[in-house]
Structure 1
Amino acid sequence: MRPERFEAFRDFIVSAVRAFPDRYPGLVAHEVLLAPPGTLLYVSRWRSEADLVAYAGEHWRDQPVVLPEEDEYLVAPLQVRHFSLAPLN
Structure 2
Amino acid sequence: MYQYCLYKRQAEKEGMMRVVDIMNKKDIERKAREQRKEKVKEERRLVKDQELDTQLATLKEAKMAGGGLDGGVAAVGRGSGNGGSGGGEAKPWWKVW
TM over 0.5: no
- Give the helix-richer structure, 1 or 2: 2
- Give the strand-richer structure, 1 or 2: 1
TM-score with structure 2 setting the length: 0.25
